[in-house]
Amino acid sequence: MQRRHDLDWVRVCAFALLVLYHVGMYYVTWDWHVKSPAASDALEPFMLLSSPWRLSLLFLVSGTATAFLLGKAQRSAEAAGNRARFLGGRSWRLLLPLIFGMLVIVPPQAYYEVVEQLPGGYHDGYLAFYARYLTAYDGFCDADGCLDVPTWNHLWFVAYLWVYTVLVWLLWRLAPRALDAAGGLLARAMSGLGVLVWPVLFLGVARVLLVGRFEQTHALVDDWYNHAQYFGVFLFGFLIARADGVWQAIERLRWPALVAWLASWAALIAYFTRFADADPPEALRMAMRLGWALNQWCAIVAVLGFAHHWRPGDSRVLRYLVAAVFPVYILHQTVIVVVAHHLKPLAIPPLVEGPLLVAITFAACFGGYEVIRRVRWLRPLFGLRTTGYPTPDAPALASEPR
């Protein structure tokens, strides 16, 4: 198979949007690690443009990439006359950066969260904090509860991605015929309007039944609503990876999906504004949970449909960005937290400080990537191969260009 450059671009743009979103979290009223003194609800409607679907899109593209990776591993094993060694390689590429990130990259986020949010502040310095961080200290508490350390913060995505990869690998090893049958059934059901209808129903039912019962914790063991939606779209991406009819249907329905996405976004804004200080009727609450699912899936179809329609080709810029995505992702939230905290005493107006924070974050992360890719022992700590490059049929989520 040829490389899916459209999915490469989708992944690159989705992670760039993630950086912008996390900068925005500093300026809105929603809970986050550090907060701007000027935080308000002004940006929240724009944050809602992507918050229902951004991570679901990444998990779907990851599922598609996993299908390509698994197929590539199987073909290589058949050519060499041995068994496919897929899970070990994926575990190395995901778990090593996760562990390194929890020990080195993430602790500054937790430190500045404690400095800013602990009653009375925290004055013992970073080294004293880090010693407590490593020993799972449970005394960093405020009125909302205690901070769990060590933590993976934004790297929860990597942990979940590894777990979902293991689950799909087990299905592939233990029930390959059932997996193929499910893929065929899905391809037939989603070759037309079903590509909009069935996923919206699935995501809507999951939200109606689970979101009120299970808090979204990103803690893996108790995050059942997130598992339902994220593993659901991951498995969907895996099953439709080679289903050309589904991708053609996504392309055909890109305009209706775009209209439905924007209309449902406007409805969500109106709903949250109207009931900001009051409880909505229960029937309306359930209806808006379905509206959230409509927004979530139609945005994904619109993004994938336009990317598939435009079919962007290969380029040196794309190859560079594809390689940089994982290191930049690992670094970005720590850069945002640290820089935002140290910009705060300057009292820069938010309209100036926000773009400055975005520019510093991207510059620092890509500067870090330039160092990482040149240092052999650093590369695997950020998900890059020590040597070598993927072959031309590598999947859309390969960490490096061919």
Quick check: 205 and 191 in contact, CB under 8 A? no
The 10s digit of each residue's pLDDT in 94-118 is 999 999 999 999 999 999 999 999 9
- Distance from C-alpha of 221 to C-alpha of 211, rounded to nearest angstrom: 15
Specify the DSSP class assigned to residue 29.
S
Residue 1: pLDDT over 70: no
Task: Specify the 3-state DSSP secondary structure of 146.
Answer: strand
Query: What's the pLDDT band for 82 if we cut at 50, 70, 90?
Result: low
Start-end of H helices in 31-175: 44-47, 54-80, 87-100, 107-117, 126-134, 156-174
Residue 357: pLDDT over 70: yes
Quick check: 340 and 36 in contact, CB under 8 A? yes
The 10s digit of each residue's pLDDT in 207-258 is 999 998 999 999 999 999 999 999 999 999 999 999 999 999 999 999 999 9
The 10s digit of each residue's pLDDT in 157-202 is 999 999 999 999 999 999 999 999 999 999 999 989 999 999 999 9
The 10s digit of each residue's pLDDT in 56-77 is 999 999 999 999 989 888 777 6
Describe the chain by its helix, strand, coil percentages, rounded to 5.
Answer: 70, 0, 30
